[in-house]
Amino acid sequence: MIINKALYTIIGKDIKENEFEYSDELKTELDKRYSEYKMGTAEVVTAAESKKRIEEILGGIKEEIMYTYILL
């Protein structure tokens, strides 16, 4: 099928263009975190705790933006 081949070519091209290259520094950090996880020494949080932390960070940023806006 020509259409399927064309779609595969387009999608395949997009995947190749969007590939992320890991730097050596990032690979080292990921390996370290994985090793800590496997040894049981890593800090592991639930999805709910992670969401809470992110909301707290974003909330602080929103408050800071609003404060700056009011000062202007």
Are 21 and 3 found together in one domain?
yes
Are 34 and 50 found together in one domain?
no
Instruction: Summarize pLDDT for 35-58 with one digit per residue, the tens.
Output: 998 999 988 889 899 988 888 888
The predicted structure's pLDDT at residue 58: 82
Classify 67 in phi/psi space as left (phi over 0), alpha (psi -120 to 50) or beta: alpha
Are 25 and 3 found together in one domain?
yes
Are 32 and 52 found together in one domain?
no
Contact 26, 32 (CB under 8 A): no
Q: What is the DSSP letter of 1?
A: -
What is the domain range of residue 50?
45-72
Contact 45, 53 (CB under 8 A): yes
Q: What is the DSSP letter of 42?
A: S
CA distance 55 to 61: 10
Is pLDDT at 62 greater than 90 in this prediction?
A: no
Are 35 and 65 found together in one domain?
no
Q: Give the global pTM.
A: 0.43
Instruction: Say how many domains are in the chain.
Output: 2
Are 15 and 35 found together in one domain?
yes
